[in-house]
Amino acid sequence: MENKTLIFDAHLDLAMNALEWNRDLRWPVEEIRKSEEGMTDKPDRAKGTVSLPAMREGHIGVCVATQIGRYVKRGNNLPGWKSPQQAWAQTQGQLAWYKAMEEAGEMVQIRTCNDLERHLRLWENPLGNAPVGYILSLEGADSIISMRHLEQSYNYGLRAIGPAHYGPGTYAHGTDSTGGLGIKGRELIKEIERLGIILDATHLCDESFRETMDLYHGPVWASHNNCRVFVPHNRQFSDEQITELINRDAVIGIALDAWMMVPDWIRGKSDPKSMDVTLKQMINNIDHICQLAGNSLHAGIGSDLDGAFGKEQCPYDLETIADLQKVPDLLYEIGYTQSDIQNIMSGNWIRFLKNNLGNQL
Ligand SMILES: [Zn+2]
């Protein structure tokens, strides 16, 4: 299978898998699964789909990789750390894992346009063990103790940030909560803009999305966010929100979490086969964004694979992340041209980064 398309996946929680799931992502997926047989501490044990070898196999040569640490206030039932300081420490451990993967030659951090161009040249003809490139992102900003910590994060390479995750956060309201930014959120947004960090609109509730768009003038994308027209839920974008993002030259990554792909999914009960969850829904979401845009310049992949769910909650025609290589053919089948397909599989994210990364360290 030569002539694989380069794929850019804009949302992978790699370090979270390494540190909270205790997965050595240098192993093949099959071995990671085998090592987890019989474990019941998490619903996706022995069902993971992501590893660095699988990414290489699928030519997923570049990704946005996250740090993630949620802080939950007393009385809140969401899983998370009891203080922002603990959440910060968690993200610093995750950073240390990415650095260790760089030292091992497995990954390489992309901070500047030059880094990106060098890495893309490497992947034009990748050797079997080519490092996977990553742009560092923070999913949910609760671990940012103060604006000094945000600047420190930029200095170690943070290039994208989502102000919120699930529930009410320190800076913004996320999925399944309602409310705006508040004083702290406004301060954060302004600092994101000053530093030139990409703002990730994913997970913002409608009100926080509205206020963020009004306040922020810097580059915005949505790394992993599907369309509300298919699954009516506040986690998904309305057509109006998608159109606004398109008008701001954003790229929107389509995710493969089953509950965001088909309506009425019940976590822990529904099954991908009986609910007919396949890569087809990813294609429908991509196509919807392209139809709203009138072109193929704003849709991409942000799979979120192994973002705390595995094969039990993702398309059943995908065994590992390498099967993202099926997406180009599926797009071709519904009439997308080779250049459209290239835009969607990697070109849009790459263009966005070339426009917005700069060459400052
Ligand atoms: Zn997410």
> pLDDT tens, 150-204?
999 999 999 999 999 999 999 999 999 999 999 999 999 999 999 999 999 999 9
Predicted confidence (pLDDT) per residue in 94-106, tens digit:
999 999 999 999 9
Closest CA to 116 of 157, 75, 171: 157
Q: How far is the CA of 341 from the centre of ligand 1 (A)?
A: 24
**Any residues with CB less than 8 A from the CB of 207 and at least 6 apart, and which?**
173, 178, 179, 180
What pairs with residue 132 in β-bridges?
107
Q: Rounded CA gap, 142 and 164, in Å?
A: 8
Q: Which of 54-63, 76-85, 314-323, 328-337 has the lowest mean pLDDT?
A: 76-85
Ligand 1 centre from 162 Cα, in Å? 9
Q: How far is the CA of 224 from the centre of ligand 1 (A)?
A: 7
pLDDT of the residue at 1: 40
Rg of the chain's alpha carbons, rounded to an integer?
19
Arithmetic mean of pLDDT, 278-306: 98
Quote the pLDDT of residue 77.
86
**304 CA to middle of ligand 1, Å?**
7
Task: Dump strand ranges (E) for the chain.
Answer: 8-12, 62-67, 107-109, 132-139, 158-162, 198-200, 220-221, 252-254, 299-301
pLDDT of residue 341: 98
Q: How far apart are CA 143 and CA 156, in angstroms?
A: 15
Q: What is the pLDDT of residues 329-353, one digit of tens each?
A: 999 999 999 999 999 999 999 999 9
Q: Say how many Å lie between the CA of residue 337 and the centre of ligand 1.
A: 30
- Taking only the tens place, the pLDDT of each residue in 206-250 is 999 999 999 999 999 999 999 999 999 999 999 999 999 999 999
Q: What number is the average pLDDT over the span 109-116?
A: 98
Q: What is the pTM of this model?
A: 0.98
Pairing of strands 220-221, 252-254: unpaired
Q: Which of 21, 34, 31 is nearest to 54 (CA)?
A: 31
pLDDT category of residue 2 using cuts at 50, 70 and 90? low
CA of 297 to the centre of ligand 1 (A): 22
Buried b / exposed e across 283-318, counting CB within 10 Å, b at 16+?
bbbbbbbbebbeebbbbbbbbbbbbbbbbbbbbbeb
Q: Is the pLDDT of residue 361 over 70?
A: no
pLDDT at 360 over 90: no
Burial class (CB in 10 A: 0-12, 13-18, 19+), 53: buried
pLDDT at 276: 98
Q: How far is the CA of 202 from the centre of ligand 1 (A)?
A: 7
Give SS3 for 206: helix
Give the Cα separation of 161 and 150 in Å (integer): 10
Query: What mean pLDDT value characterizes the chain?
Result: 97
* Distance between Cα 165 and ligand 1 center (Å): 7
- Please state the rounded mean pLDDT for residues 275-299: 98
Q: What is the pLDDT of residue 127?
A: 85
Centre of ligand 1 to C-alpha 294, Å, is: 27
Distance CA(191)–CA(86), nearest Å, equals 22
Which residues partner with 252 through β-bridges? 222, 299
> Up-side HSE of residue 316: CA atoms within 13 Å toward CB?
10
What's the CA-to-centroid distance between 203 and ligand 1, angstroms?
7
